[in-house]
């Protein structure tokens, strides 16, 4: 260190190069002794290392992941500040503690509706082939994150082989719907025969905002397979993730965030289905419900609420193996449920 003169005329150690804590200690009696003692300890450690024993070095801190919901293209905590606790790992032979996942509230659901409607106009007006390009980019991001997604599924209790198969099927499912983006129109549209000097044709259009209750299992393939047929048709969606494995949904959202998909097209909430779905079913700005694995009193409540505002409702309960039937789960009938047909009459002249 540089030396400087103190006000008393004695030579003192300059505080240049010391951190704030060390500078405060330097002003207190006895600091010089403590500092020299620390220096001596470091010298002794260096000598020990030079003598053959490895010197001590501090270890890295374990950076635990902070799980958040995905709304409007941003990762957010629940406005309520509440959390669900899930086991850190259920993989055989591994031990862990509990991890916190946000527990979404009614306010979070309303915020997601606002974010989704803000994205609806831009997404529905995009050219069909451009939506396909964006979904292809999503497939690239899923493939790049395949190891992370596999690890998340293994932590939820799947075997490594099952996790690998599910991630691979999810990438393939994304590629299939990317291909359907500019082809389903030719299957649904029609030129209708009419009497009189008119052209009459029917074309598909998106219904708007669709609320999806994701299946409990398979946590990733079920999530991907329920979202893609909705958004490929120009709709936006709010997804309530699997209660059994909400962490994989958050990891999937990170792939969404790094793809070209505009924020607000897909919004993912975590929490209890019975708490988040009812206010969404009653919301007047929601046009359809896609319910997977919902049953009993909750299903009746949701369908009754949807009837009050004339929402479309599709309810199904596919078994886990059925989600892996690629041909059955990639037919345009999955898209057709969430488009509506607009018929146009145009004068053709005499």
pLDDT digits (tens, 9 = 90+) for 304-331: 999 998 999 999 999 999 999 999 999 9
Which pLDDT value is given to residue 116? 97
Per-residue DSSP letter, 262? P
φ, ψ dihedrals at 128, nearest 5° = -60, -40
pLDDT digits (tens, 9 = 90+) for 190-217: 888 888 888 888 889 999 999 999 999 9
pLDDT mean across residues, the chain: 85
Mean pLDDT of the 282-290 span: 96
Domain 69-347 bears CATH identifier 3.40.605.10: yes
Mean pLDDT of the 216-243 span: 96
pLDDT digits (tens, 9 = 90+) for 13-39: 344 444 444 444 444 444 344 444 444
Query: What six digits make up the tokens of 71?
Result: 């709304």
Alpha-carbon torsion angle 126, 129, 134, 138, nearest 10: 140
pLDDT digits (tens, 9 = 90+) for 268-279: 999 999 999 999
Comparison of pLDDT for 347 and 281, the residue scoring more = 281
Which pLDDT value is given to residue 274? 94
Whether a cis peptide bond, with omega within 30° of 0, leads into 218 is yes
Phi/psi zone of residue 154: left (φ > 0), alpha (ψ -120 to 50 degrees), beta?
alpha
Comparison of pLDDT for 200 and 125, the residue scoring more = 125
Residue from 176, 179, 178, 169 nearest 149 by CA: 169
Residue from 227, 205, 195, 199 nearest 292 by CA: 227
Residue from 217, 228, 129 nearest 171 by CA: 228
Q: Is pLDDT above 50 for 4?
A: no
SS3 330: coil
Which pLDDT value is given to residue 51? 55
Task: Please count the CA atoms within 13 angstroms of the CA of 215 that sit on its side-chain side.
Answer: 22
Which pLDDT value is given to residue 52? 60
pLDDT digits (tens, 9 = 90+) for 150-194: 999 999 989 999 999 999 999 999 999 999 999 998 888 888 888
φ, ψ dihedrals at 207, nearest 5° = -80, -25
Query: What six digits make up the tokens of 110?
Result: 């309303």
DSSP output for 147-181: HHHHHHHHHTT--HHHHHHHHHHHHHHHHHHHHHT
DSSP output for 20-69: HHHHHHHTSTTHHHHHHHHHHHHHHHHHHHHTTSPPP-PPPP-------E
pTM of the predicted structure, to 2 decimals: 0.80
Task: Please count the CA atoms within 13 angstroms of the CA of 305 that sit on its side-chain side.
Answer: 19
Which pLDDT value is given to residue 298? 95
pLDDT digits (tens, 9 = 90+) for 136-149: 999 999 999 999 99
Which pLDDT value is given to residue 55? 77
Mean pLDDT of the 59-70 span: 86
């Amino acid at each position: 260190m540089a030396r400087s003169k103190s006000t008393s005329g004695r030579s003192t150690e300059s505080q240049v190069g010391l951190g704030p804590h060390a500078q405060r200690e330097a002003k207190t009696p006895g600091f010089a002794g403590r500092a020299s003692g620390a220096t001596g300890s470091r010298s002794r450690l260096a000598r020990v290392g030079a003598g053959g024993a490895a010197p001590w070095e501090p270890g890295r801190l374990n950076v635990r992941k902070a799980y958040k919901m995905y709304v409007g293209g941003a990762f957010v905590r629940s406005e309520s500040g509440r959390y669900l606790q899930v086991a850190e790992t259920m993989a055989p032979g591994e031990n862990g503690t509990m991890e916190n996942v946000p527990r979404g509230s009614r306010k979070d659901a309303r915020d997601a509706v606002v974010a989704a409607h803000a994205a609806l106009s831009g997404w529905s007006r995009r050219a069909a082939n451009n939506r396909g390009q964006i979904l292809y980019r999503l497939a690239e991001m899923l493939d790049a994150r395949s190891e992370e997604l596999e690890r998340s599924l293994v932590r939820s209790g799947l075997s490594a082989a099952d996790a690998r198969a599910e991630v691979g099927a999810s990438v393939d499912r994304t590629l299939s719907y990317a291909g359907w983006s500019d082809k389903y129109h030719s299957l649904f549209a029609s030129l209708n025969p009419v009497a009189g000097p008119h052209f009459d044709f029917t074309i598909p259009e998106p219904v708007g905002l669709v609320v999806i209750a994701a299946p409990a299992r398979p946590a990733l393939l079920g999530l991907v397979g329920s979202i893609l047929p909705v958004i490929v048709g120009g709709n936006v969606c709010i997804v309530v993730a699997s209660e059994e494995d909400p962490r994989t949904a958050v990891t999937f959202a990170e792939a969404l965030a790094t793809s070209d998909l505009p924020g607000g097209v897909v919004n993912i909430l975590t929490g209890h289905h019975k708490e988040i779905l009812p206010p969404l079913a009653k919301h007047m700005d929601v046009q359809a419900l896609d319910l997977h694995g919902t049953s009993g009193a909750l299903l009746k409540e949701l369908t009754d609420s949807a009837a009050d505002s004339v929402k479309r409702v599709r309810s199904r309960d596919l078994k886990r193996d059925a989600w892996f039937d690629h041909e059955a789960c990639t037919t345009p009938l999955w898209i057709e449920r969430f488009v509506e047909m607009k018929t146009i009459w145009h004068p053709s002249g005499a």
